[in-house]
Amino acid sequence: MLSNSKSELVRITQRIETHSEALSRLSNNQPTIEKQQHEAKIGTIDVLSALSNIVREQVRFGKDFTKLCQAWDPISHPNDAVPASMGRRLRKWHQSFPQTIQKLETRAQSLVVSTQAYKISVTEFASAIQILHRDGILETENLVEKIQNACVQEAKRLIQARESLIKARDRLSMDKSKLELDAKQLETRVDNYRPNHDGKFFSIYGGTLGLASVGMLAVCPPAGAIMGAISLGSSLLGLGITESSISKRKNLERDAAELSCRALKMTADAGKLEHNANDYTEHFDAVTAAAVAVKYLFSILNPMKSRAEILERASIQQCSKSSSVGLRVSGIHSSSAALMVGTSHEHLIDCVEAILSDFSYSDTDDRDPDPEWEISTPNLPSKPRENDTSLVRLEDIVLFQNHILIGTVAVKDLAFAKSVTARCTPDSRKTASEVEAEYAEDMRWMKSLDGMDRFRFAINLAQLSECVPKVVRICVKYSVNGAVHWDNNNGRNFKIQLLSDDLKLYRVLDELVAGLKELKVYENVMRHVRVLEDRDDYEELVRRRSVQEM
């Protein structure tokens, strides 16, 4: 059943190595995708900020033109010359407004291109991790489970084989005891007869059994000893029988021959038992080796599977985010393109309303109560310091599930009994809390590289204060052999900053909401502009007059 297990395990090991390399490549690609996502968000915020600037300029124009119309109403003076101040303000707006709209549309188009590249990267990443996880790692896990099941079945068969061997051994032992008893009885019967010259047959027969007993001693010592006893008895029998006891001699010949056959059968049974025992040992060793290999493969596959599951979930979230970003960016581009067609106050209001609708955002009540955070670790070394002889060092900090800081600590293995603790403060040491770190079983292999054990700790930021802190400072403590060792970044502690593109987005959306309200206040100002546009001298009025008016 396990005849091909060794070659199959070698092939599976090679598959796992291939999966590990692919998983590492995908893990290394994840920061690139996160960077593209960040750039897409920042690009969106920049475009919206540009739109907010346009809105502010238009509101400023509305305020200025309203004051000018209060001093000179175009509707009341259809045929009068337009005041110079109104002409200058109108020319400035007429020249700058379309240009800013053009720049907005160009930036929106560029954002569409970069967002499309981000979506393609996310799609390729999601497809690759899904194929690796489901068609690669899970399939390999199924192969290992098949071998594991085969080991279980073979172990059950070996248990039955062992029971059969024990029974066969017990039977052989019983036959041996009975043969020894019968041999002693035969010797006793031989002793009851006087020596006689007619015992030649038994003498020869005894010699033959004696030769057979030599061979039997090599295969089955008990049976060989018995045959030797029978040989002795037969020889004695040959010396002790007289001519008057021919019939009794024949009975002794028959009994001696029967003992010889039984001894030969025991020899054959002992050889068969030895062969079966060797076969059992060989299969037992094979099953044991396969079981050890299966356990080792699972120790590699399980962390790999967990990492692949995390990456696949992350890819699904990234696909959802990229689709959302793509739709919003597409909406921004469509609105800016529509604004290009009709560069007016009314079209600007429509553009802002459409974009706010795409973001499903009207006021602060629409904000996500738990924005997506990122962390920055400005003073955490990116790699171990050269010739580092410290007994404890903080190696890495990552953000998990948007509010949990997970840190990895390396400590010198000075004793089996040891503890690692992380101390953190969200408010510059006004308050502090400590969390115990746990041994990182999945990083045991790294100890062979530097002799350091790895521990992990988890800090729930939501439990540190009422709101997620913007800065957290951390140090780690290593207690071993009655001594305490610290890694506190030479007294400065490690600084973790929490950043959020969502908060930046909320600010610019707040600006657009406020700007939209002001735009609507000055919506009627465009009625006066329309009156001026209907004048015959409007083209001359808005034509650039000097460099100073640019």
Looking at residue 409, which CATH number applies to its domain? Answer: 2.60.40.2440
- For 299, the token pair is 């120790």
Q: How far apart are CA 110 and CA 231, in angstroms?
A: 107
Q: How far apart are CA 357 and CA 348, in angstroms?
A: 14
- Show pLDDT as tens, one digit a residue, over the chain (550 residues): 456 777 888 899 899 889 988 888 888 787 788 788 888 888 999 999 999 999 999 899 889 988 998 888 888 888 888 898 988 888 888 888 888 989 999 999 999 999 999 999 999 999 999 999 999 999 999 999 988 888 888 888 888 888 888 888 888 889 888 888 888 887 787 777 545 444 444 454 455 555 445 445 444 555 555 555 555 455 544 544 445 467 777 887 788 888 888 888 888 888 888 888 888 888 888 888 888 888 888 888 888 888 889 889 888 988 988 898 898 899 898 888 888 877 778 888 889 998 988 887 555 554 555 666 767 777 777 666 656 678 999 988 888 777 788 899 999 999 999 999 999 988 777 788 899 999 987 777 777 778 889 999 998 887 776 556 678 899 999 999 999 999 998 888 998 887 777 778 888 888 999 999 998 888 777 788 888 888 888 888 887 654 445 4
Bridge partners of 460, per DSSP, are 404
Q: Are residues 444 and 379 in the same domain?
A: yes
Q: Are residues 194 and 93 in the same domain?
A: no
Residue numbers of the domain that contains 446 = 374-499
The three-state secondary structure class of 210 is helix
Q: How far apart are CA 335 and CA 317, in angstroms?
A: 27
Residue with tokens 């390399």: 21
* CATH code assigned at 142: 1.20.1050
- For 281, the token pair is 């040992």
Going by their DSSP bridges, the two strands 404-412 and 494-499 should be labelled as unpaired
Q: What is the pLDDT of residue 544?
A: 60
Q: What is the pLDDT of residue 109?
A: 93
Q: Are residues 104 and 195 in the same domain?
A: no
Q: Are residues 336 and 458 in the same domain?
A: no
Q: Using the 3D structure, point to which of 295, 329, 349 is the last residue of a domain.
A: 295
Residue 325 · residue 122 · CB < 8 Å: no
Q: What is the pLDDT of residue 550?
A: 47
Q: Are residues 383 and 495 in the same domain?
A: yes
Does 449 reside within a domain?
yes
Q: What is the pLDDT of residue 368?
A: 55
Q: Are residues 31 and 102 in the same domain?
A: yes
Q: Are residues 84 and 196 in the same domain?
A: no
Q: What is the pLDDT of residue 252?
A: 76
Q: Are residues 32 and 100 in the same domain?
A: yes
List Cα–Cα distances, 546 to 92, 147, 471, 533, in angstroms: 11, 87, 53, 21
Residues comprising the chain, all counted:
550
Q: Are residues 40 and 144 in the same domain?
A: yes
Q: Are residues 202 and 262 in the same domain?
A: yes
Does 150 reside within a domain?
yes
Does 353 reside within a domain?
yes
pTM of the entire structure? 0.63
Q: Are residues 114 and 45 in the same domain?
A: yes
Does 267 reside within a domain?
yes
Q: What is the pLDDT of residue 420?
A: 95
Angle at 352 between CA 348 and CA 357, to 5 degrees: 145
Q: What is the CA radius of gyration of the chain?
A: 47
Does 30 reside within a domain?
yes
Q: Are residues 139 and 44 in the same domain?
A: yes
Does 520 reside within a domain?
no
Name the domain count of the chain: 3
Q: How far apart are CA 45 and CA 56, in angstroms?
A: 16
Does 534 reside within a domain?
no
Q: Using the 3D structure, point to which of 295, 316, 345 is the last residue of a domain.
A: 295
Does 540 reside within a domain?
no
Q: What is the pLDDT of residue 129?
A: 93
Q: Using the 3D structure, point to which of 306, 338, 366 is the last residue of a domain.
A: 366
Angle at 350 between CA 504 and CA 514, to 5 degrees: 40
